[in-house]
Homo-oligomer: A and B are copies of this chain.
Amino acid sequence: MNGQQMVLKLNDISSKKPGNIAAIFSLSNGYVGIQASNPINGSNDTGTLVNGFFEYSPITYGEAAAFYPKNNQTIVPVLNLRKIILLDENHHRFDTATIKDISLNLENGQLHEVYEVSNQAHKKIEMTVVSAIDQKNLSFYGIKFSFKPLSYKGKLIVDKRFKLDAISEAADIGAQEDPRKTRRVNSAAKQIIASADDREILKIATKKSNQSITIQGRSISKKLLTERDLTTSFDLTYIYQVSKGDENKVVPIEQHSFVKIKENSHQFWEKVWQQSAVMISGNDEINLALHFNIFQLNQAAGRDGHTNIAAKGLTGPGYEGHTFWDTEMYMMPYFIYTNPEIAKSLLIYRYHTLAFARKRARELGVDSGALFAWRSINGEETSAYYPASTAAYHLNGDIAYAIGKYYETTDDDEFMEKYGFEILLETARFWREFGSWTEKNGQKKFEFLTVTGPDEYTAMVDNNYFTNRMAENNLQLAYTVGHKLAVSNPKILLKLNTSENELRQFQHLSTNIYFPRNTQYAINAQDDSFFSKPIWPFQTTPNSQYPLLLHYHPLHIYRYQVNKQADTILADFLFPETITESQLGREFDYYEKITTHDSSLSRSIFSAVAARMGNVKKAYSYFSDTVRMDLIDLQGNTEDGLHLANLGGSWLDVVQGFAGMQVTAQGILKILPHLPEEWNSFEFRLMFKKRLLKFVIDQQITEITLINGDPLEVIINQKKYTLSKIIKINN
C-alpha cells in the first residue's frame, strides 16, 4: 500500500457541504462515533452518536390497527465533543472557521484538519486539529488543537467546557416526508454533575428509554477555560471518555493519554489491513475509495454482542440509527471473511433480541418461532409502515443465511451451540407456522403469502421468489445443523425443546417450497403476480422523478413491474448453484431493465452478478457508482450519514464479483476471476477456516498465498488444488 491510497483528503470528495464532510471524515469505533463537524461553527448538541443510545417517542398513525408498533426509537446525538470557543483579547468571539485542509489517515485512524478562524473584528488565526478515537478502550477520544497567529497576535481565550443548548421538547418532530431521514429527539436531559478546572462530567439521560451516558472531559493542559498568549503557536489537548450508564471504565481518564489513544488506534488498523487490505493496481482513486469503505465498515460495527450496525453507522443520524437486513446481507460477508469475531458479535446481537422477535411472531399470529424486527435499535419492531417492513419476512432468512455463512467459514461450533442454532430453529419454526400448503399444478406445495421481498416497489404479494429461497435455506440449515448437533451434542436439542422429528419436518418443508416461474421468458418470477403487471413507463418518466418513492403514491408504483433494487437477482447472487448460466443471463437482462436502483442496495449486487456472468464491462460500470457512492454523493443524502450497506457492497463486488469467490455446497472456497480491463491487477485477503489467504489476480496469473494456517483445498477456475503455501496459475 502506498500512502496516497491510504489518506482521504478534501479533494477526494465532490461535495464540500459541512454535512458531507462531517459524515465522511467521522471517526468511530463501533461504540462512539464522532462526526467531523466544524469545531467553531458546529452545533453544541450534535455530532456524537453512541451505538445503541436511543430515545423512544410515540408513533402517531393516521389510522392505527392492532399490533402496530407503539414507539419510535431514535438514536440521540449526545454532545459535540469537538466544539471549542475562542475569544480575542476584547472578548470578540471567533465565530467563523473555514476548512483549509482535512485528511483522514486510514492506516492509523488519525484525522487532521486545518481551519482558518476569524471573527467580526476581521482577526484571523489558524487552527489545526488532530484527533483520534481509541480502538481498544472504546470510550476514549482525544483531540489536540494547535493555534497559530495569522492577522491576530495577542491573548486567546480558549473555552472547552461543555456547552448545553436549552432542551426544546417542542422541537421533537414526528414523521418525515422522506422516510430515509431521522426524526429529531432533543428530549434527553443533560446535566453537568461534576466540574473542576481541568475536567467536567456530564450526564445525559433519556426520559422514556431510561438510558444514560456519562461523558468526562479533561484538559491535558490543566484548564478547560484558559487564557493564552498567541504571539507564537501553542497546543491544547483534551481527552474525552464516553461511557454508557454505569459501565465500568477499564481505564480511568487520568491514566489515559492522547498518545495511548493514537497508539491503540494505529494498532487496530494495522490488524485490519493485515487481514483485509484490498489493492487495485491501475486505479488509485478506486483503491482509495475501497480502503475508505472498508475503514468505515470497521468503524461502524458494534463489537459487544449488544449493538449492531446502523444503516448509517455512527456517521449520521439517518434512518434514526436503526439496524436493518443491510447488516446480514451487505456488510456481514466482509466481516465473515476478514474478521469473523465481529461477524460473531453482530449475530449475537440478533440472539439477544430473540425475546422481542418471539413476541413479534405471536403478534403476527404465528404461534411458534420468532420474527426479527425490520428496523430497530434494541430489537423491538419500530417500523410504522408494515407493507415495506413487517411484511419483509425474508429478514428471518437473511439472518439464518448469515449464520450459515459464518459457520461454513469458521466451523465455530461453540457459537452454533450457544447462539446460532437457537436462531436457526426459531426462524425455521416461524416459516413452518407462517407458510401454508396449497396445490400447484397437481402437486402439494408449501408457500408464503402476502409478503414483501427486497424490492420495496412491489409489496404484499404471494411467493416472492427471494423470500421462498431464503426460507428454503433457513429450513434446510435448521435441519442440517440440528442433525449434526443431534450427534455431537444432543442435549442442545433437548434444551431447545426440539427433536429429530421436528428437524425432519423442516427438511420436508424445505424440499416442498414453491418457486414461481415465468415460462414465457424461462426465468424465475419475482412473485406469483409480477408478470401480470404492465412494465413501468420508463420512457416517459423524467429523471427528476427518481427516486420513485418520493414522487409516486405506493399504489401507483405497486401496480407496475418496477424494481427499487435487486430482488430475484439477489437470490441468484446468494444461491449461485440454483441457476444455470443461460437462465441467469436471461434473468439478469429481464430484471435489469425494470430496476431503478433507487435503493443504495442495488447496484453492488448487479455488479457482482454481471461480473460472474463474465460481463465485466457492465459489472465495472455498476461498481464504479457503488464504490464511490458517498464520496461523490450519488444518492444526494450523504450528509445524513454514509450508506453502510453499499460500502459492504463494494467489497462484495471485488471479492465475490470480480474475483468470483464462492463457497461450494461442500464448503470449498473457489474463485473464478474476471479482471476489469481498467485494472492491471488486484489483490485482497480473506480469512477462511482459520487460514489467512492472500489473492493476487492479474491478466495472466491468479496467485493464492497461504499466509498462515494449515493446507487447504481450493478451486481456481473450476479446477481443484491443494494450497499449502502458494499456488500460481495462468488464467
Interface residues in chain A, defined as those with a beta carbon under 8 Å from any beta carbon in chain B: 59-69, 174-177, 179, 363-365, 383-387, 390-391, 436-438, 447, 449-450, 459-460, 462, 528-529, 532-534, 549-556, 558-559
Contact yes or no, A460 B558, CB < 8 A: yes
Which residue of chain B lies nearest to A459 when distances are taken between CB atoms in the complex? B460
- Given known A460-B460, A532-B438, contact A554–B447 (CB-CB < 8 A): no
CA distance A285 to B464 in the complex (A): 54
Chain B residues near A529 (CB, 8 Å)? 449, 462, 528-529
Contact yes or no, A62 B59, CB < 8 A: yes
> Shortest CB–CB separation between residue A135 and chain B, in angstroms?
36
> Shortest CB–CB separation between residue A370 and chain B, in angstroms?
16
> Shortest CB–CB separation between residue A606 and chain B, in angstroms?
25
Chain B residues near A64 (CB, 8 Å)? 175-177, 179
Chain B residues near A59 (CB, 8 Å)? 62
Question: Could you give 16 example pairs across A and B, Cβ below 8 Å?
Answer: A60-B175, A61-B384, A62-B69, A62-B384, A62-B385, A63-B175, A64-B175, A65-B385, A65-B553, A364-B556, A438-B532, A460-B555, A460-B558, A462-B529, A462-B532, A529-B529
**14 additional contacts (CB under 8 A) given A364-B555, A449-B559:** A60-B60, A61-B174, A61-B175, A62-B68, A62-B175, A62-B385, A365-B553, A386-B553, A386-B554, A447-B532, A450-B558, A460-B555, A462-B532, A528-B532
- Given known A64-B176, A462-B529, contact A555–B386 (CB-CB < 8 A): yes
> Shortest CB–CB separation between residue A373 and chain B, in angstroms?
14
CA distance A65 to B556 in the complex (A): 11
Which residue of chain B lies nearest to A59 when distances are taken between CB atoms in the complex? B62
> Shortest CB–CB separation between residue A369 and chain B, in angstroms?
14
Contact yes or no, B450 A559, CB < 8 A: yes
- Given known A438-B532, A460-B460, A529-B449, contact A390–B555 (CB-CB < 8 A): yes
Contact yes or no, A553 B364, CB < 8 A: yes
Chain B residues near A555 (CB, 8 Å)? 364, 386, 390-391, 450, 460
Contact yes or no, B438 A551, CB < 8 A: no
> Shortest CB–CB separation between residue A396 and chain B, in angstroms?
14
Chain B residues near A67 (CB, 8 Å)? 552-553, 556
Which residue of chain B lies nearest to A366 when distances are taken between CB atoms in the complex? B556
CA distance A552 to B177 in the complex (A): 28
Chain B residues near A459 (CB, 8 Å)? 460
CA distance A462 to B450 in the complex (A): 12
Contact yes or no, B551 A385, CB < 8 A: no
Chain B residues near A385 (CB, 8 Å)? 62-63, 65
Q: Indicate how many identical chains form the complex.
A: 2
Chain B residues near A450 (CB, 8 Å)? 555, 558-559
> Shortest CB–CB separation between residue A279 and chain B, in angstroms?
42
Contact yes or no, B66 A552, CB < 8 A: yes
Chain B residues near A60 (CB, 8 Å)? 60-62, 174-175
Chain B residues near A552 (CB, 8 Å)? 66-67, 365
CA distance A450 to B533 in the complex (A): 9
> Shortest CB–CB separation between residue A50 and chain B, in angstroms?
25
Chain B residues near A363 (CB, 8 Å)? 553
Chain B residues near A449 (CB, 8 Å)? 529, 532-533, 559
> Shortest CB–CB separation between residue A311 and chain B, in angstroms?
15
CA distance A550 to B67 in the complex (A): 9
Contact yes or no, B384 A553, CB < 8 A: no
CA distance A176 to B62 in the complex (A): 9
Which residue of chain B lies nearest to A520 when distances are taken between CB atoms in the complex? B439
Chain B residues near A387 (CB, 8 Å)? 387, 460
CA distance A59 to B534 in the complex (A): 32
Chain B residues near A61 (CB, 8 Å)? 60-62, 174-175, 384
> Shortest CB–CB separation between residue A183 and chain B, in angstroms?
10
> Shortest CB–CB separation between residue A356 and chain B, in angstroms?
15
Which residue of chain B lies nearest to A535 when distances are taken between CB atoms in the complex? B436
> Shortest CB–CB separation between residue A393 and chain B, in angstroms?
9
Contact yes or no, B553 A63, CB < 8 A: no
Chain B residues near A551 (CB, 8 Å)? 66
Chain B residues near A62 (CB, 8 Å)? 59-62, 68-69, 175, 384-385
Chain B residues near A553 (CB, 8 Å)? 65-68, 363-365, 386, 390
Which residue of chain B lies nearest to A389 when distances are taken between CB atoms in the complex? B63
Contact yes or no, A436 B556, CB < 8 A: no
Chain B residues near A460 (CB, 8 Å)? 387, 459-460, 555, 558
CA distance A534 to B435 in the complex (A): 9
Contact yes or no, A63 B365, CB < 8 A: no
Which residue of chain B lies nearest to A375 when distances are taken between CB atoms in the complex? B63
Contact yes or no, A66 B549, CB < 8 A: yes
Which residue of chain B lies nearest to A62 when distances are taken between CB atoms in the complex? B384
Chain B residues near A533 (CB, 8 Å)? 436, 449
> Shortest CB–CB separation between residue A333 and chain B, in angstroms?
29
CA distance A534 to B444 in the complex (A): 13
CA distance A469 to B717 in the complex (A): 59
CA distance A59 to B63 in the complex (A): 9
> Shortest CB–CB separation between residue A368 and chain B, in angstroms?
14
CA distance A589 to B559 in the complex (A): 32
- Given known A61-B61, A529-B449, contact A550–B174 (CB-CB < 8 A): no
Cβ 8 A contact of A66, one of B174, B534, B550 = B550
Chain B residues near A550 (CB, 8 Å)? 66
Most B-side CB within 10 Å, residue of A528, A532, A552: A532
Most B-side CB within 10 Å, residue of A64, A364, A391: A64
Chain B residues near A549 (CB, 8 Å)? 65-66
CA distance A232 to B162 in the complex (A): 79
> Shortest CB–CB separation between residue A321 and chain B, in angstroms?
16
CA distance A481 to B65 in the complex (A): 42
Chain B residues near A559 (CB, 8 Å)? 436, 449-450
CA distance A332 to B438 in the complex (A): 41
CA distance A86 to B599 in the complex (A): 68
> Shortest CB–CB separation between residue A464 and chain B, in angstroms?
13
CA distance A68 to B556 in the complex (A): 12
Most B-side CB within 10 Å, residue of A176, A363, A555: A555
Chain B residues near A176 (CB, 8 Å)? 64
4 closest A-B pairs by CB = A62-B384, A365-B556, A63-B385, A67-B553
CA distance A681 to B66 in the complex (A): 46
Chain B residues near A174 (CB, 8 Å)? 60-61
Which residue of chain B lies nearest to A393 when distances are taken between CB atoms in the complex? B555
CA distance A62 to B385 in the complex (A): 7
Chain B residues near A447 (CB, 8 Å)? 532
Most B-side CB within 10 Å, residue of A179, A364, A385, A553: A553
